[in-house]
Amino acid sequence: MINIEIDGKHIEVENGCSVIDAAHRLGIYIPHFCYHKKLSIAANCRMCLVQIEKAPKPLPACATPVAEGMKVFTASEQAVKAQKGVMEFLLINHPLDCPICDQGGECELQDLAVGYGGSASRYQEEKRVVLHKDIGPLVAAEEMSRCINCTRCVRFGIEIGGAMELGQAFRGEHAEIMAFMSDTVDSELSGNMIDLCPVGALTSKPFRYSARTWELSRRKSISPHDSLGSNLAVQVKNNRVMRVLPIENEDVNECWLSDKDRFSYEGLNSAERLTKPMIKQGGKWLEVEWQVALEYVANGLRQIAHETGAENIGALATPNSTLEELYLLQKLVRGLGSHNVDFRLRQSDFSADSKQTGAPWLGMAVADINRVDRFLLVGSFLRKDHPLLASRVRQATKAGAQVNLIHSTDDDLLMPIANKEIVSPTEMTTVLAQVLKALATAKQATLDTSVQQIVQSVTPSAIAQAMADSLAGGERVAILLGNFAQQHPQASQLQLLAQHIAALCGATFGFFGEAANSVGGYLAQAVPFADAEHGMNASAMLAAQRKAYILLNVEAELDMQNPQQALAAMGAADMVVALSAYKHHATEYADVLLPITPFTETSGTFISSEGRVQSFKGTVQPLGEARPAWKVLRVLGNMLNIPGFDYNNSEAVRDEVLVGTDLPAKLGNVLHGVSAQAATWDVTGLQRVSDVPIYATDAIVRRAASLQKTRDAATPRALMHSVELKKLNLQSGEMVKLTQEHGSARLSVIADDSLPHGVVRVAAGHAVTAELGAMFGAIMVERA
Amino acid sequence: MLSEQVRAKTDRELKKYPPDRKQSAVMSALRFVQDEKGWIDTADMADVAAYLGMPQMSVYEVATFYNMYNLKPMGRHTLTVCTNLSCQLVGAMETLNYIKSKLGIGVGEVTADGKFGLREGECQNVCDEAPLFMINNKKTCGHLTKEKIDQILAELDKE
Ligand code: SF4
Ligand code: FES
Ligand code: FES
């Protein structure tokens, strides 16, 4: 430890600490631009100059490490003179266009200029002009003359985003921030550059010129998208969400947000919002009063339960619904006498149901990901499914962690991958079994009978062996299963094998979790096996068509594992009640549309994949006649005379679920009574590999206009290995017809030699592939 | 794709650096490209980036930072006249103006036949020979007079 003194105050800090960090710990503010606690030190703005005893000239506090006995003066005459000098230089070329600048009011340069700048400029000469750039639909680089070349945006790309999309070209006075060959910035974390830019050079394209920052009120909320549970500051003007910024939470999202969390708010104000209850009568949709609509629903459900049996009612909800909504939905359905309720809409293998020790979860704290030294990632589109978790894994690799990957696609994760095995979905269990075998041999362990059969049937490949060695050599090992592994038709076998691998190398073992409430759904008992009596799971409910469906936030053709089957079931039902924030395709098959509110217009709770319970309040009033779903379900429960539906507020619902519950005890990834067999699943011909594209995951983000203009939201194409294309005599770029069972889609086909042979990669969750069948399994390709 | 020759030369450079520091060879690789075709295109930069396993933008930063890389075609013989202080004191500006009028082009331009390009340069570290220019960043011609310039240009013209 080192003792230093800053402005007369003494502090003891560790060796290597910078003067600026030491000062911040003392609560002493040193002006700065290029310094950022999460980025490397560039020391190029010179705003942080301070006086240090015995140093002949002022030194940059961000780049000066502490030394024993150092005496620092941050506000001495020499320091202030230096800081004022730097400020004068920074302002020389700055356009000083604050009145028309979007950053005005939250600009670090503006703030510091007030403190350190002169009231008039001595500079009379011509200012330099830097031309604007178009770097994509999210980040505006329209006024690059404002740039002070701090390179925070560049360092963010390299260090946190994992790709150097922006750089500083040219030199000295001519230096400019730009992308290579006027490319766009496509990082799924790009919005953070807007926050980092200390001036108004990089601004938010969707938000620009729509409000002044001081007109906005700031309300805390939680992201409803991925399973991380990012903390949001939702900024509101005139009862409209204008913008979303991160709230710093070191254990969750640090100071970042993914672009999905940041820009999805545009979907809240979409023209497709459903604002009035509607009933279909004689093939026409009529707007009705809430009372009428709810009575219609209550009567319909009562009648179906009465006449054909309650088990003819099924309820489906998205995992983006709140804990309260999910809980009341299952309570309503169970109150009616049915147990058919599920939120795991894209799952296809339910054989682990009630054989698992608890709700599948991350198995560790999010913050601990950074400290893992060996990863085995199984079936995950990590970067797109979990942008900020991917960034944490990336940080871990910077500290030397090795990443082993078993998956069906080889998308660039923008981090070094130590070993990877890219195989078709049907081969995934085999690869895991090989790794398990290699580990067991190395550790001379006898394997549990549940995995013996499959392990005996395989011989570890060199890669599997390398993975096993990598995992065995780690101290803090994590085996993590992604969305793809959870949606996989052999999900429970993958889980079982991963569990045994984890056991052999003392690893933590868990699931990334698909959506904001993937853990919460279990806690809310929105699963068919939560009770003594079991009902049908999401897939069974569609396979054995029900007479009535209640859909909570669900768009049947986009949110389900098998859209074809889902639409058929909806079409055949006597009654479909769609609780939705949007008017969507349900108008084709539903009988009632109940306008419910998205997360910004209701209070609620999400339980993130690490088991973190985060409740939030509504940030704006419900739009039109839309109402929070928990209230709608409450009224329905009362109308149907189901006991226990008189809650005063959503907190009462939450407390009923969580108070007195030992949450950690409810989480558990260990399987009992499942066994893995060799080659239990095979597909003849080509098999489908599906991802749910990052901006197609849920109803809100699908309607976020700017996100829909990004490259990630481009119309899906069918991707195949060129060997497979040749077999079919197809050219890359041609239009093909893809067929699964009795539905087809027309897409252009592109050669992608990073894919394994025998697969076609086709995105799910998108309108153009909504006629297709299950996300996994056989698929036919022919020239269109 | 980088030409075989550029790749061979770059490989030789790469031997000087640890295998995980391939990007150390970026300046040499860019120089080899310029030696071969006279200038460096963004496509060449992308090729260099791919060859050295570094971000394209990072190569672009290097290529645009250093004045001696030509980012556009500069003619078969690029004359870089030093206009820094020592040279200016002994008439670098007159030298420059004379070449301008002689070739009928301005700084940063190329003659219509593509033979000569003209650039302004920084101190070449041979101030004792001022005024001077370099030909294709390789050969320094000092103690320039009008006659000497005429003579050099005439010789180059014949090549
Ligand atoms: S654009 Fe902003 S963040 Fe990037 S270098 Fe310029 S001032 Fe810094
Ligand atoms: S903050 Fe220290 S030089 Fe920029
Ligand atoms: S100033 Fe021209 S060579 Fe040094």
The DSSP letter of residue A530 is: S
Q: How confident is the model at residue B71 (pLDDT cuts 50, 70, 90)?
A: very high
Checking ipTM against 0.95, whether it exceeds it is no
Distance from the B63 Cα atom to the nearest Cα atom in chain A, whole angstroms = 8
Compute the average pLDDT of residues A524-548. 96
Judging contacts by C-beta atoms under 8 Å, the chain A residues touching residue B65 are 169-171
DSSP three-state, residue A169? strand
CB-CB neighbors (< 8 A) of B64 in chain A? 169-171
Residue A149 Cβ inside 6 Å of ligand 1? The answer reads: yes
B55 contacts in A (CB within 8 Å)? 158, 163-164, 167, 180
Q: Tell me: the pLDDT tens digits for A345-373? A: 999 999 999 999 999 999 999 999 999 99
The answer to whether A169 contacts B55, with C-beta atoms less than 8 Å apart, is: no
Who has greater pLDDT, B25 or A181? B25
Q: What is the pLDDT of residue A677?
A: 84
Q: By C-alpha distance, which of A46, A49, A50, A17 is closest to A33?
A: A46
With a CB-CB cutoff of 8 Å, which residues 242-261 of chain A face chain B?
Answer: none
Q: What is the mean pLDDT of residues A225-241?
A: 97
Going by the DSSP 8-state scheme, the letter that residue A747 receives in this structure is E
* Distance of alpha carbon A139 from alpha carbon B121, whole angstroms: 37
Residue with tokens 């009648």: A303
Question: Any idea which residue has 């922006």 for tokens?
Answer: A166
The chain-wide mean pLDDT, for chain A, equals: 96
From the CA of A49, give the closest atom in ligand 2: 2
The pLDDT value recorded for residue A118 is 87
User: Contact at 8 Å (CB) between A607 and A522?
Assistant: no
The mean pLDDT of A444-471, rounded to a whole number, is: 95
Q: For the residues of A261-296, what is the DSSP string, one character each?
A: HHHGGGGGG-TTB--S-EEEETTEEEE--HHHHHHH
Question: Is the CB of residue A157 less than 8 Å from the CB of residue A179?
Answer: no
**Nearest ligand (C-alpha, residue A60):** 2
Is the Cβ–Cβ distance between A579 and A317 less than 8 Å? no
Q: How far is CA B70 from CA A5, B49, B80, B98, B123, in A?
A: 51, 17, 11, 23, 17
Structural element, H or E, at residue B36: helix B26-37
- Are A504 and A443 spatial neighbours (Cβ–Cβ below 8 Å)? yes
Q: Which of B46, B61, B67 sits opposite A169 (nearest CB)?
A: B61
The reply to whether residue B42 touches residue A180, judged by beta carbons under 8 angstroms, is yes
Q: Find out whether A177 and A166 touch, Cβ atoms under 8 Å.
A: yes
Torsion angle (degrees, nearest 10) of CA A726, A732, A737, A740: 70
Q: Is the dihedral of CA A145, A146, A150, A155 positive or negative?
A: negative
Query: What does the pLDDT look like over A377-417, one tens digit per residue?
Result: 999 999 999 999 999 999 999 999 999 999 999 999 999 99
Q: E strands, A519-631, where?
A: 548-552, 575-580, 592-595, 604-607, 613-616
Q: Does B65 touch chain A (CB under 8 A)?
A: yes
- Tell me the percentage of chain A whose pLDDT exceeds 90: 97
Q: Which atom of ligand 2 is nearest to the CA of A48?
A: 2
| Distance from Cα B124 to the centre of ligand 3, integer Å | 5
**pLDDT tens-digit map of A628-662:** 999 999 999 999 999 999 999 999 999 999 999 99
**pLDDT number for residue A426:** 96
B71 touches chain A (CB under 8 A): no
Query: Quick check: A163 contacting B, CB < 8 Å?
Result: yes
Do B70 and B134 form a contact (C-beta atoms < 8 A)?
no
**Residues found in chain A:** 784
Count the neighbouring beta carbons within 10 Å of the beta carbon of residue A292.
14
- Contact A177 CB / ligand 1 (< 6 Å): yes
Average pLDDT value for residue range A419-446: 96
Identify the closest residue of chain A to B45 by CA–CA distance.
Answer: A180
Residue of A nearest to B58 (CA): A167
pLDDT tens per residue across span A539-593: 999 999 999 999 999 999 999 999 999 999 999 999 999 999 999 999 999 999 9
Nearest to A167 among B61, B66, B67 (CB): B61
Quick check: B20 contacting A, CB < 8 Å?
Answer: no
Strands (E), A361-503: 374-378, 402-407, 419-422, 477-481
- Ligand 1 neighbourhood includes A153 CB (under 6 angstroms): yes
Q: Which residues contact A453 (CB under 8 A, 6 or more apart)?
A: A675, A676, A677, A678
Question: A179-183, A674-678, B25-29: which has the minimum mean pLDDT?
Answer: A674-678
pLDDT score of A738: 97
State whether B60 and A163 contact (CB < 8 Å): no
Q: How confident is the model at residue A174 (pLDDT cuts 50, 70, 90)?
A: very high
Contacts 24+ apart (CB under 8 A), A177-181: A177/A141, A177/A144, A177/A147, A177/A149, A177/A151, A177/A153, A177/A201, A178/A133, A179/A133, A179/A135, A179/B57, A180/B42, A180/B45, A180/B46, A180/B55, A180/B56, A180/B57, A180/B60, A181/B42, A181/B46, A181/B56
Q: Which residues numbered 32-51 in B keep a CB inside 8 Å of some CB on A?
A: 42, 45-46
| Token pair belonging to A285 | 């949709």
Q: Compute the mean pLDDT over every residue in chain B, rounded to the nearest whole number.
A: 94
Q: What is the DSSP string of B84-153?
A: SHHHHHTTHHHHHHHHHHHHT--TT-B-TTS-EEEEEE---S-GGG-S-EEETTTEEE-S--HHHHHHHH
Cis status of the peptide bond prior to A95, with omega within 30 of 0: no
Split at pLDDT 50, 70, 90, the class of A514 is very high
Identify the CA nearest to A497 among candidates A418, A402, A428, A403. Answer: A428
Could you say which ligand is closest to the alpha carbon of residue B140? 3
What ranges in A560-608 are assigned the alpha helix state H? 563-572, 586-589
User: Quick one: what percent of chain B has pLDDT higher than 70?
Assistant: 100
Tens-place pLDDT, residues A64-84: 999 999 999 999 999 999 999
**Cβ separation B46–A180 shorter than 8 A:** yes
Nearest to A391 by CA among A203, A547, A673, A162: A162
| A36 secondary structure, DSSP code | -
- B55 interfacial to chain A (CB closer than 8 Å): yes
* Listed residue (A781, A595, A608, A766) closest to A688, CA to CA: A781
> Rounded CA gap, A394 and A397, in Å?
5
Name the minimum distance, in Å, from the CA of B48 to any CA of chain A: 13
pLDDT in tens, A654-695: 999 999 999 999 999 999 998 888 877 889 999 999 999 999
Q: A158, B55: Cβ pair inside 8 Å?
A: yes
C-alpha A147 to ligand 1 mean position (Å): 5
Q: At A715, list the tokens.
A: 């119309």
B46 CB neighbours in chain A (<8 A) are 180-181
Q: Which of A158, A164, A169 sits opposite B64 (nearest CB)?
A: A169
pLDDT for the residue A678: 80
| Alpha helix (H) residue ranges in A35-100 | 77-92
Strand-strand pairing, A575-580 and A592-595: parallel
Strands (E), A276-354: 278-281, 284-287, 313-317, 341-342
Handedness of CA A26, A15, A158, A751 (dihedral sign): negative
Kindly state the average pLDDT of the residues B69-89: 93
pLDDT above 80: residue A535: yes
Q: How far apart are the first and last CA of chain A?
A: 71
Of A668, A438, A421, A703, the residue nearest A553 (C-alpha): A703
Tokens of A128: 């330099």
Assess contact for A702 and A728: CB atoms under 8 A: no
